[in-house]
């Protein structure tokens, strides 16, 4: 069931879903420093034979809940390997003064080697300072309260094999480090003797990363947290729902508009450029991916001229997660093609706000997971009405839901 509304027939006020207006998404501002995702034209690690092997490659082959054969972002990542025992490797020479917002962050995916699920988790980046000391010997801690250094990171059990994890250390929060200069970025491993390690590093940043200034407690909530999950790696099992407390509906972006289980597998279902894609913005009542969704409805913008593409894979729009805002009270995304979309929930409804580029058309597609439903568009009154019986096989007691806009 797919129905489109062209630019000339935009509805004005929609109790369920839609009020069209112009919106823009502010881009984040970055400070100066080292940033690399190991893509062409970006900083590359130092060469030479060292205790720990490292080289740019195509990414892990068998991640649990991510796209295989690519980095966390982009098409490449840095592979690390060692035959066992402690070791380190100098990756980058730098000359960066530590200031209030200076932060070291990176993504890491330890791999299982043979049957050993632990050895590769003993890995960390470290920083060599101008006085010869290392940040791992300081009071600096990552977001989990763990010191830098391969031994500390491995012992912390905060890294999981075959799964990407982000690590971040705010160096400027340590008074003793302010004013010191970072002269090198190092990679450390600390597995037991004879225990080989293998894994991947991506998105290394050493620069100013200012803290956001939350205006309300809900600003601390990131609704995409726990979404890198699937039936193989059933941990988190979240989707980025925006809703009012105890509201009738959830509203969520969807990477697979034909699914009733894992709705937002943003990394695993990335496109050929390793960009996440949305196939719909959807109404949901899902209690758990294992239970499945019930009573769904979908909206998707399109800038295609003429009849918009209804095929889910072809209509999907790519975006960067840097251009995505996921909060309990609002979801907002800026797509690569210039379309912007935002959702603000109410108890039984939501307001959608779209921005379309000057070139191209402006359409909305109304759809559902399957054809168990009906929809009527009234051009004269610029309204739509319909119903949905779409539900999983475990939706005992679910009744028909009606849609009005």
CATH code of the domain containing 240? 2.70.98.10
What's the rounded mean pLDDT across residues 169-179? 98
Two tokens, residue 96 = 């960066």
Query: Is residue 119 located within the same domain as residue 252?
Result: no
Nearest-angstrom CA–CA distance, 18 and 405: 7
CA 327 vs. chain centroid, Å, equals: 13
Same-domain status, 243 and 390: yes
Domain match, 198 and 228 both: no
Instruction: Give me the CATH number covering residue 189.
Output: 2.60.120
DSSP code string of 193-212: TT--EEEEEEEEEEEE-PPP
* 39 shares its domain with 60: yes
DSSP states along 371-383: SSEEEEEETTTTE
Determine, yes or no, domain membership for 15.
no
**Share above pLDDT 70 across residues of the chain, in percent, rounded to a whole number:** 92
- Exposure string of 83-110, with b = 16+ CB inside 10 Å and e = fewer, is ebebbbbbbbebebebeeebbbbbbbbb
Residues 144 and 253 in one domain: no
Residue of 119, 114, 107, 118 whose CA lies nearest to 76: 107
**Whether residue 248 sits in one domain with residue 130:** no
- Tell me, what's the pLDDT at 24? 29
Q: Which of 188, 208, 228 is the last residue of a domain?
A: 208
Q: Which two tokens stand for residue 148?
A: 């830098």
Do the Cβ atoms of 63 and 232 come closer than 8 Å? no
Residues 282 and 203 in one domain: no
> Looking up tokens 């003429």, which residue turns up?
306
Distances (CA, A) of 191 to 60, 145, 153, 195, 323: 20, 21, 11, 6, 38
Q: Please report, for residues 223, 242, 259, 263, 346, the alpha-carbon distance to residue 328 in angstroms, rounded to integers and kept in the order given.
A: 7, 5, 22, 17, 11
Model confidence pLDDT, tens digit, residues 231-244 = 999 889 999 999 99
pLDDT of residue 97: 96
Q: What is the pLDDT of residue 50?
A: 87
CA–CA distance, 211 with 225 (Å, rounded to integer): 18
- Which tens digit of pLDDT belongs to each residue from 34-47? 999 999 999 999 99
Chosen domain end from 147, 178, 208: 208
Where is the domain boundary, 170, 187, 208? 208
Contact 107, 101 (CB under 8 A): no
Residues 180 and 297 in one domain: no
**Containing H/E element for 401?**
strand 401-404
Residue 157 and residue 250 in one domain: no
Same domain for 294 and 334?
yes
| Phi, psi dihedrals of residue 327, rounded to the nearest 5° | -125, 160
The model carries a pTM of 0.87
Q: Judge residue 356's burial from the number of C-beta atoms within 10 Å of its C-beta, 0-12 exposed, 13-18 middle, 19 or more buried.
A: buried
Residue 13 lies in a domain: no
Average pLDDT, the chain: 91
CB-hemisphere CA count at 13 Å for 24? 4
Residues 177 and 227 in one domain: no
Answer for the pair 190, 121: CB distance below 8 angstroms, yes or no: no
Whether 3 maps to a domain, the answer reads no
- Give the pLDDT of residue 16: 32
> What integer pLDDT is reported at residue 193 of this predicted model?
84
Number of domains in the chain: 2
Does any domain span residue 245?
Answer: yes
Average pLDDT of 372-385?
A: 94
Parent domain of 92? 34-208
28 within domain boundaries: no
Condensed to tens digits (0 to 9), the pLDDT of residues 1-33 reads: 544 444 443 333 233 333 322 222 333 222 369
Q: Which residues contact 253 (CB under 8 A, 6 or more apart)?
A: 240, 264, 278, 280, 281, 282, 331, 333
CA separation for the pair 220, 63 (Å, rounded): 29
Residues 190 and 315 in one domain: no
* Rounded (to 5) percent helix, strand, coil in the chain: 5, 35, 55
CA atoms within 13 Å, Cβ hemisphere of 289: 22
Give, for 314, the enclosing helix (H) or strand (E). helix 312-315
């Amino acid at each position: 069931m797919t129905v489109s509304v062209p630019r000339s027939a935009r509805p004005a006020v929609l109790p369920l879903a839609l009020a069209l207006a112009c919106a823009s998404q502010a881009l984040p501002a970055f400070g100066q420093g080292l940033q690399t995702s190991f893509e062409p034209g970006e900083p590359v690690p130092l060469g030479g034979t060292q205790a720990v092997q490292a080289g740019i490659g195509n990414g892990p082959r068998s991640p649990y809940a991510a796209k295989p054969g690519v980095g966390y972002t982009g098409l490449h990542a840095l592979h690390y390997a060692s035959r066992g025992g402690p070791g380190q490797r100098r990756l980058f020479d730098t000359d960066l003064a530590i200031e209030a917002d200076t932060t070291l962050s990176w993504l890491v995916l330890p791999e299982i080697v043979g049957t050993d699920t632990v050895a590769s988790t003993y890995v960390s980046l470290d920083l060599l300072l101008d006085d010869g000391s290392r940040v791992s010997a300081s009071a600096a801690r990552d977001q989990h309260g763990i010191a830098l250094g391969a031994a500390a990171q491995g012992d912390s059990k905060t890294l999981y094999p075959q799964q990407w994890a982000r690590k971040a250390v705010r160096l400027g929060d340590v008074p003793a480090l302010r004013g010191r200069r970072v002269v090198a970025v190092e990679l450390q491993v600390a597995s037991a003797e004879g225990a080989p390690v293998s894994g991947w590093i991506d998105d290394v940043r050493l620069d100013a990363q200012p803290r956001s200034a939350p205006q309300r407690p809900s600003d601390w909530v990131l609704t995409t947290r726990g979404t890198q999950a699937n039936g193989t790696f059933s941990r988190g099992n979240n989707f980025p729902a925006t809703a009012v407390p105890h509201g009738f509906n959830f509203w969520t972006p969807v990477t697979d508009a034909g699914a009733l289980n894992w709705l937002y597998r943003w990394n695993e279902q990335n496109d050929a450029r390793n960009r996440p894609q949305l196939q719909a913005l959807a109404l949901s009542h899902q209690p758990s991916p294992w239970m499945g969704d019930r009573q769904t409805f979908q909206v998707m913008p399109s800038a295609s001229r003429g009849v918009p593409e209804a095929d889910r894979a072809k209509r999907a729009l790519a975006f960067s997660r840097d251009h995505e805002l996921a909060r309990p009270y609002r979801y907002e995304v800026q797509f690569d093609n210039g379309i912007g979309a935002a959702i603000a929930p109410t108890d039984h409804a939501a307001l959608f706000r779209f921005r379309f580029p000057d070139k191209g058309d402006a359409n909305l597609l109304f759809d559902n997971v399957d054809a168990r439903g009906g929809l009527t568009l009234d051009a004269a009154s610029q309204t739509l009405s319909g119903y949905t019986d779409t539900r999983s096989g475990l939706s005992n007691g679910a009744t028909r839901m009606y849609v009005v806009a």
